[in-house]
C-alpha cells in the first residue's frame, strides 16, 4: 500500500533516470525531463538512456520529454536531479508552469558558487515565500548503477515540515530503496555536498599510491571538518554520523563508481584537471563545491585543512605531494579540538 503521486523528475543523467525508473516501476505516475532533445527521443523509443545509463531498461510507463513545461504541468512532486550549478536557472524556468501546491524535492548535491547558498536556500531564493514550506532534499549513499539493479540502498529525505518528509518517504520507498526522514535540512545538504570535496582528496591519495591508513585518516578528519562547518551553519552534529554524512562520505571516498574520487585519483597520477574533466560525460560536483566550501570556511572562520588543500590542488594547480606534506606537517593538536 502506498500513496499514488504524480511526479516530475527533472534531469536525465544517471541518477535522475534511476529515480524516475524506480518511481515508475513502483506504480507512480512519472514524467522525466531530459535536456537533450535527441536523447529524450531515443529514450522514449528504445527505453534506454544510452548516454548515461546504457544497461538499464526504462519502464514503459515512464513518460520522457524534453519539454520542461510539459514535464511539470499538473505534477504534485517535482524532483530536481540536475547539476547543482544550473538549479537556479532550471527552477526559475519551470516554476511558472508548476502547480500552485507543488512540492519541490532536490536530489542535487552542491553549494552555489558566488552566493554560497545550499540547494534548499537556492530554491527558497527562487520560489515565492508561500512555497518555502514545500521544499525538501534527498541525499545519502546511493550509486545510480546499484540502485537501478535493485541493490538494497538507504537514503534520507530532509524537510522542515515532518508531514512533508513523511509524504516523500511514502512516495519513494520500495522493498530495496529505504527512505528515512530528517528535520535537519542544512545538515543533510552539507553532508551531501561536502563529501564530494573529501572524495577528491581520497582519490588523490589513492592515485599517489598511498594505502588504507591514509584513506581512513582522510575520511575521518574530513568528516570532522564537515561537521565543524555544519555546526557553525546551524546543523545538528548527529546528522553527520548518519546516511547523508558518514554514509555518503564512505561510499564516495571508496567506491569505484565515484566521479569525484576518480577526479582525485587522476590528479594523484599526475593528470591535469582540464584534461580529466573534458573526458567525463557527467559532472563531478566536488570540483565546483570545493571553491564554495573553502569560501564558507573563511566566512564562518572554521578550520577545514583538507578542503583548503583540495581548493589549492584544483584552483592553483598545487602539486599533490605538496598537498600531502602540508596536511601532515600542520601544527599538532588534539583530535577533538
Helix residue spans in 159-211 (DSSP H): 162-172, 185-207
CB atoms within 10 A of CB 146: 17
Could you give phi then psi for residue 71, rounded to 5 degrees?
Answer: -65, -40
Grid cell for residue 240: 553527520
Q: Are 213 and 272 in contact (CB under 8 A)?
A: no
Q: Please, are residues 104 and 127 in contact by the beta-carbon 8 Å criterion?
A: yes
Q: Are 63 and 30 contacting, i.e. CB atoms less than 8 angstroms apart?
A: yes
Q: Is 129 a catalytic residue?
A: no
- Half-sphere exposure at residue 78, Cβ-oriented, CA atoms within 13 angstroms: 31
What is the secondary structure of 83-151 as a DSSP string? -GGGHHHHHHHHGGGS-TT-EEEE----B-TTT--BHHHHHHHHS-GGGGGGEEEEESS--HHHHTTT-
Looking only at Cα atoms, what is the longest distance across the chain?
60
From the list 26, 149, 166, 195, the catalytic residue is 195
Q: Are 290 and 235 in contact (CB under 8 A)?
A: no
Distances (CA, A) of 112 to 80, 120, 132, 137, 212: 15, 10, 18, 15, 32
Would you name the residues annotated as active-site residues? 195
Amino acid at each position: 500500500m502506498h500513496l499514488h503521486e504524480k511526479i516530475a523528475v527533472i534531469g536525465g543523467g544517471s541518477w535522475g533516470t534511476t529515480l524516475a525508473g524506480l518511481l515508475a516501476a513502483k506504480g507512480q505516475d512519472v514524467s522525466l525531463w531530459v535536456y537533450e532533445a535527441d536523447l529524450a527521443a531515443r529514450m522514449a523509443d528504445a527505453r534506454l538512456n544510452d548516454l548515461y545509463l546504457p544497461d538499464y531498461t526504462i519502464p514503459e510507463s515512464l513518460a520522457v520529454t524534453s519539454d520542461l513545461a510539459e514535464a511539470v504541468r499538473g505534477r504534485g512532486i517535482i524532483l530536481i536531479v540536475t547539476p547543482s550549478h544550473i538549479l537556479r536557472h532550471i527552477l526559475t524556468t519551470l516554476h511558472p508552469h508548476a502547480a500552485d501546491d507543488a512540492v519541490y524535492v532536490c536530489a542535487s548535491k552542491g553549494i552555489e558558487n558566488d552566493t554560497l547558498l545550499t540547494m534548499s536556500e537556492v530554491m527558497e531564493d527562487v520560489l515565492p515565500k508561500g512555497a518555502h514550506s514545500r521544499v525538501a532534499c534527498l541525499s545519502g549513499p546511493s550509486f545510480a548503477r546499484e540502485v537501478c539493479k535493485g541493490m538494497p540502498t538507504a537514503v534520507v529525505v530532509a524537510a522542515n515540515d515532518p508531514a512533508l518528509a513523511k509524504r516523500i518517504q511514502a512516495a519513494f520507498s520500495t522493498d530495496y530503496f529505504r527512505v528515512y526522514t530528517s528535520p535537519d535540512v542544512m545538515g543533510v545538504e552539507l553532508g551531501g555536498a561536502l563529501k564530494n570535496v573529501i572524495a577528491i582528496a581520497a582519490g588523490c591519495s589513492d592515485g599517489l599510491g598511498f594505502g588504507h591508513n591514509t584513506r581512513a585518516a582522510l575520511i575521518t578528519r574530513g568528516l570532522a571538518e564537515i561537521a565543524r562547518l555544519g555546526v557553525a551553519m546551524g546543523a545538528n552534529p548527529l546528522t553527520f554520523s548518519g546516511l547523508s554524512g558518514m554514509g555518503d562520505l564512505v561510499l564516495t571516498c571508496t567506491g569505484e563508481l565515484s566521479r569525484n574520487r576518480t577526479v582525485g585519483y587522476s590528479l594523484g597520477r599526475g593528470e591535469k584537471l582540464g584534461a580529466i574533466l573534458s573526458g567525463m560525460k557527467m559532472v563531478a560536483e566536488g570540483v565546483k563545491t570545493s571553491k564554495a566550501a573553502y569560501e564558507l570556511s573563511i566566512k564562518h572562520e572554521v578550520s577545514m585543512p583538507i578542503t583548503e588543500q583540495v581548493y589549492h590542488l584544483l584552483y592553483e594547480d598545487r602539486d599533490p605531494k605538496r598537498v600531502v606534506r602540508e596536511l601532515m606537517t600542520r601544527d599538532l593538536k588534539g583530535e577533538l579540538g
